[in-house]
Amino acid sequence: MIEVKNIEVLIKSIEILRGVSLTLAPGEMIGLVGRNGAGKTTTIRALMGLAPLKDGEILVDGRSIDHLKPHQRAALGIGYLPEDRRLVPLLTVEENILVPSWAMPQIDHKKRLAFAYDLLPEIATMRDRKALQLSGGQQKLVALARAIMAGTKVLLLDEPFEGVAPALSQRVSEVIGALRGEKLAVLIAQSEVNHAAKMLDRSYSIERGTSI
Ligand code: ATP
């Protein structure tokens, strides 16, 4: 269970988040919806430890994770799909997917990789290609596989449907939908809910750095 309690985040001394609260329980698919610039990415970055809190707290299973670095949060089973994918261009598809597992000695890497390939067989066929050889949409799928690799408990997906062709966004939806039943908590940030509307249990709205 993740609890975000009234967090505030400053970027370059400007208050970007000014009171965001949400909860995310195992098995839930939750939306975080707001227009561009509302603070969705910053909320997810704060959850990953990439944007320091000025106030408020983030708890996982009742314990504060504020002192944990991003790789330590990955080790807790939190997977992250950044909006801009952030693959390492010169690494292969498989190496990119395995990156978060370097911080996770407790998981069976082979088994988890097989699970990711099972969900995304089209990625398995590209495993030896360098990330820079892929299209933007293919890179999104690889970044999703990488998030699934780490996300044994929680998946934080920042605009998973953005910048991909309609057929591919349908695939992204199917893959996310197939994770239901895995007892995963999934947070999907979107500026519009159209793609994920049916699969969401509920949504939070975010406006000017405040959740509603
Ligand atoms: P988008 O989908 O456009 O990324 P968002 O809801 O995810 O929107 P954020 O990326 O969290 O919004 O940004 C929230 C606000 O913080 C915006 O006004 C943005 O301009 C500002 N912001 C974010 N990062 C920085 C930064 N590094 N420097 C300055 N301002 C920033």
Question: Average pLDDT, stretch 12-17?
Answer: 94
How many CA atoms lie less than 13 Å away from 117 in the CB half-sphere?
14
pLDDT in tens, 37-80: 999 999 999 999 999 999 999 999 999 999 999 999 999 999 99
- With cut-offs at 50, 70 and 90, classify the pLDDT of residue 193: confident
CB of 67 closer than 6 angstroms to any ligand 1 atom: no
Q: Which residues have a Cβ under 8 Å from the Cβ of 143 and sit 6 or more positions away? A: 81, 82, 85, 86, 87, 96
Query: In total, how many domains does the chain have?
Result: 1
For residue 194, is pLDDT > 80? no
Residue whose structure tokens are 């988040």: 17
Domain with 64 in it: 2-211
- C-beta of residue 187 within 8 angstroms of C-beta of residue 1: no
Residues in a beta bridge with 2: 24, 60
- Is the minimum distance from the CB of 190 to ligand 1 under 6 angstroms? no
pLDDT (0 to 100) of residue 103:
80
pLDDT mean across residues, the chain: 93
- Label residue 197 by pLDDT band (50, 70, 90): confident
State residue 112's pLDDT score: 93
Task: Give 42 Cα–ligand 1 centroid separation in angstroms.
Answer: 7
Three-state secondary structure string covering 132-167:
HHCCHHHHHHHHHHHHHHHCCCEEEEECCCCCCCHH
User: What atom of ligand 1 comes closest to residue 159's alpha carbon?
Assistant: 2
Total-model pTM: 0.93
Q: Would you place residue 158 in the very low, low, confident or very high pLDDT band (cuts 50, 70, 90)?
A: very high
CATH number at residue 96: 3.40.50.300
Indicate which residue's Cα is closest to atom 19 of ligand 1.
37
Q: What is the pLDDT of residues 141-150, one digit of tens each?
A: 999 999 999 9
Tens of pLDDT, residues 106-129:
888 999 999 999 999 999 999 999
Per-residue pLDDT reduced to its tens digit, 69-110: 999 999 999 999 999 888 999 999 999 999 988 888 888 899
pLDDT reported for residue 165: 87
